[in-house]
């Protein structure tokens, strides 16, 4: 699946609520999300840029996928699939 090229950091933070992530804090232009699901606590830091770089998005999705022990494609499909 092709990753979106026009996604902002805030939009990604909103989308990650599907995996149980909630905003735990924001410092400057970075948003820190935390989840308790998927076998323990996990933190992800997202830049609040618009648009977010594709490589940064891919790295964040890979980190989420590793925590939930699924593939990055499965994460992308659940967040952005139609």
Decide if 22 is inside a domain: yes
> Into how many domains does the chain fold?
1
CA separation, residue 16 to residues 34, 42, 59, 74 (Å): 10, 12, 14, 13
Distance from C-alpha of 54 to C-alpha of 57, rounded to nearest angstrom: 5
Decide if 17 is inside a domain: yes
Distance from C-alpha of 50 to C-alpha of 81, rounded to nearest angstrom: 21
Q: Tell me what the mean pLDDT of segment 14-32 comes to.
A: 95
pLDDT of 15 reads 95
Decide if 3 is inside a domain: no
Q: Tell me 33's DSSP state.
A: E
pLDDT of 77 reads 95
Give the tens place of pLDDT for each residue, 49-71. Answer: 999 999 999 999 999 999 999 99
pLDDT at 29 over 80: yes
């Amino acid at each position: 699946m092709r990753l979106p090229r026009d996604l902002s950091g805030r939009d990604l933070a909103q989308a990650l609520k599907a995996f149980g992530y909630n905003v735990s804090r924001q410092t400057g232009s970075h948003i820190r999300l935390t989840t308790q699901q998927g076998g323990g606590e996990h933190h992800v830091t997202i830049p609040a840029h618009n648009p977010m770089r594709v490589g940064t998005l891919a790295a964040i999705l890979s980190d989420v996928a590793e925590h939930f022990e699924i593939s990055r494609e499965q994460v992308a499909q659940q967040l952005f699939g139609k």
